[in-house]
Structure 1
Amino acid sequence: MPCTQTIKAGRRPLSHLQHPREAIRQFTPNWFAATMGTGVLALALAQLPVAIPGLYLVAEGFWWLTIALFVLFTAMYSARWILFFDEARRIFGHSTVSMFFGTIPMGLATIINGLLLFGLPRWGEGVVHLAQVLWWLDVAMSLACGVLIPYMMFTRQAHSIDQMTAVWLLPVVAAEVAAASGGLLAPHLQDAHGQLVMLSTSYVLWAFSLPVAFSILTILLLRMALHKLPHESMAASSWLALGPIGTGALGMLVLGSDAPAIFSANGLGGVGEIAAGLGLVAGLTLWGFGLWWMLIAVLITRRYLREGIPFNLGWWGFTFPLGVYSLATLKLGSSLHLGFFSLFGVALVAALALMWLVVAKRTVQGAYKGELFVSPCIAGLRK
């Protein structure tokens, strides 16, 4: 018997799709959540305050994987707009999938941060210019997502409180992630004025995002109290709220640590000292709020697990929020020199790595079969 006949039809690559080109036709921005989760794992592993042989190389490997995934997903999504333009533009009217536009700049931000963490030791100061160009591109995309997607929510999409989930946060949090990245990049610029411009822009981005995100969180708390938990398919969304809280804390800590030197170099030394103190206090306060939400998310997830959670790309929502909260925890440990935060940060990163392994395995399996290539925007159209 020919060996090809021994392979079951259900195990062929993309066997759930009528044609391989359907993988492009059904491609959505949801996939970029995988770059967020993989990228933040790379950053977290590289910043662990423990000496483990080979760990840095493993972290760098995850960063390279993030780049490869981002390039692949960008190519596939661009191809969809070229080959299936009329169907692709339907995303702007979809109340859920459109929110995932925010995952694109957030995935790019992890690559930019990795340029500083992995690229600088390998290639030298030349990568700073590339990181700067990519950062301003990231800022532009974040601002667009933070304004245009909410505007479409107000004008074109159908929403209701009982159907609301934490995915509403995705487009507005992108600017906050860009703010934290700007705080990491600013000290590497050569020009003092350029540092001040980037630092000031990052503070604006932080304020552009966090108050809006907290407004959404307030409504989300009311929604869950009145209408209980979302459908099992949205189980991972309970962790998304940890994203803006953890990123907000990390952003304040990073920007605050930059502030004294950068403001002083521009004749504003007193402002820098105030910003440093405010950054530490704000970071610690937001971390406490994040702890409450993380515990709530654990209890919610435990309840979902008893009933069974269907796998989908939304599971990547378990990773990035936990990752940024882990980074904020490690940053508090190094800033305050308190062992508790360092130890707790290590435990969180270990949990992040375990969750990444689970989600990545299921994603590879689902992608190979073609099960995950589903665009709700065109679900009702004939193939």
Structure 2
Amino acid sequence: MVRQFTPNWFGATMGTGVLALALNQFPLEIPVLHDVGRALWLMNIALFILFSCMYAARWIFFFDGARRIFQHPVVSMFFGTIPMGLATIINGFVAFGIPMWGDTALEIAHVLWWADVAMAVACGLLIPFLMFTRQEHSLEKMTAVWLLPIVAAEVAAASGALLVSHLGPVEGYNVHIISYALWAFSVPVAMSILVILLLRLILYKLPAREMAASSWLALGPIGTGALGLLLFGFNAPAIFTAQGMPAMGDVGLGIGIVGGTILWGYGAWWLMLAVLKTIRYVREGMPFNIGWWAFTFPLGVYSLATLALARATHLPLFSVIGGVLIVCLAAFWLLVMVRTLHGAWRGYLFFSPCLVSGVAPIEPLPKQV
């Protein structure tokens, strides 16, 4: 299990964490959902610690096999799931931890956020650099997994926006501005990849059935991008007014609502396309693998963006849509979690393509003469 462990498993922490946050914001007043969300968040912390220990053990005891991931054109993309999984835990400390533990939970969330930012920036820069220098890629073999290392920074940005309202004026302003920069570090690049992905779908049709769930990944950067803009907008009036720039607060709020709505509409197209592609895959027979967690997180962040849009625009339609999406998210999560537990118990989900794909170990760089 340790030798075959890959970062793909952190997709389970992303899906579990986003469901916990979504249930806590369900538009109907159902108190038990808060308790369920908190239980899922605590379970998610345990999962993240377990997966972190297993992956660290692989690097310690099976180093030669573990380092092959840097040359694998698919599995290496899943490094981005580690900071994104951590971000859901950070958000949970804000939503569930502060009511239970007060300032202690806030301090933990603040420290973890900076660690998350560091990992997200590293993934967003170093993984593409490996794609440019050491990995073999082609347009025909491209899938939406290219988005995973890129999107981590905007997920960290949205987490920063949740922290801002609980921090002091100076630190809150710093985190707010850095979150804007993290959003820009990720979203434009992700949108560029979506353009290429659309061209790839036109020229080479749908990916193989084993990559069926990746169809939903395109929704991730759009939903997170919309959510980030909306949260920035909510914070902007108070943050900029405290710094003597009240006019900037109004601008930030306007950009958040307008930009969030535009991205939400763009995401609706990718969401409906993902549904159509999934129906096609189901008819053809869709094999289960750990990648099925891609059904959860993108839909989750899009659901959260929809509810944020409902709060910003006061349109009941967005609340209804957000509630329906959360119900679908819960159904997806239950299905995938049951199948994952079965596959983990039987052992067939523990599989590292790097060990069997013929990827040679990374040779050390030649020494300078």
Give the shorter-chain TM-score range. over 0.9
Q: Runs of 5+ in structure 2 lacking a partner?
A: 359-369
Post-superposition Cα deviations, 1:272-325, rounded to whole Å, max 9, x if no partner, equal 110110111000000000001100110000000000100001100000000000
Partner of 1:96: 74
Which of 194, 197, 201 is the matching residue for 1:224? 201
SS of residue paired to 1:158 = coil
Partner of 1:343: 320
Which of 120, 126, 143 is the matching residue for 1:148? 126
SS of residue paired to 1:161 = coil
1 CA distance for matches of 2:251 and 2:146?
33
Of the structure 1 ranges 305-314 and 119-128, higher mean CA displacement relative to structure 2 is found in 119-128
Post-superposition Cα deviations, 1:202-246, rounded to whole Å, max 9, x if no partner, equal 000000000000000000000000000000000011100000000
Partner of 2:92: 114
Partner of 2:300: 323
Change (3 A) 1:302 1:380: closer
2 CA distance for matches of 1:308 and 1:66?
30
Partner of 2:333: 356
> How far has the Cα of 1:334 moved from its partner?
1.4
Partner of 2:189: 212
1:263 aligns with 2:245: no
Post-superposition Cα deviations, 1:159-218, rounded to whole Å, max 9, x if no partner, equal 00000000000000000000000000011112x111111000000000000000000000
Change (3 A) 1:270 1:53: closer
Of the structure 1 ranges 82-91 and 121-130, higher mean CA displacement relative to structure 2 is found in 121-130
Partner of 1:372: 349
Q: Which has the larger radius of gyration?
A: 1
Structure 1 stretches of 4+ with a deviation exceeding 2 A read none
1 CA distance for matches of 2:321 and 2:88?
22
1:35 aligns with 2:21: no
Post-superposition Cα deviations, 1:337-373, rounded to whole Å, max 9, x if no partner, equal 1110001100000000000000000000000000000
Task: Report sequence identity in percent.
Answer: 63
State how 1:77-96 maps to structure 2 within 5 Å. 77-96=55-74
1:186 aligns with 2:156: no
Question: Residue type matched to 1:38 in 2?
Answer: T
1 CA distance for matches of 2:298 and 2:53?
26
SS of residue paired to 2:165 = helix
Partner of 2:144: 166
Post-superposition Cα deviations, 1:129-158, rounded to whole Å, max 9, x if no partner, equal 111100000000000000000000000000
> How far has the Cα of 1:126 moved from its partner?
2.1
1:137 aligns with 2:115: yes
Partner of 1:297: 274
2 CA distance for matches of 1:105 and 1:380?
26
1 CA distance for matches of 2:155 and 2:15?
13
> How far has the Cα of 1:94 moved from its partner?
0.2
State how 1:198-209 maps to structure 2 within 5 Å. 198-209=175-186
Normalised by the length of structure 1, the TM-score is: 0.93
State how 1:279-290 maps to structure 2 within 5 Å. 279-290=256-267
> How far has the Cα of 1:125 moved from its partner?
2.1
Partner of 2:290: 313
2 CA distance for matches of 1:280 and 1:210?
17
> How far has the Cα of 1:380 moved from its partner?
5.2
1 CA distance for matches of 2:106 and 2:165?
10
Normalised by the length of structure 2, the TM-score is: 0.96
Of the structure 1 ranges 359-368 and 123-132, higher mean CA displacement relative to structure 2 is found in 123-132
1 CA distance for matches of 2:32 and 2:173?
37
2 CA distance for matches of 1:105 and 1:32?
9
State how 1:49-64 maps to structure 2 within 5 Å. 49-64=27-42
Q: Runs of 5+ in structure 1 lacking a partner?
A: 1-22
1 CA distance for matches of 2:308 and 2:334?
24
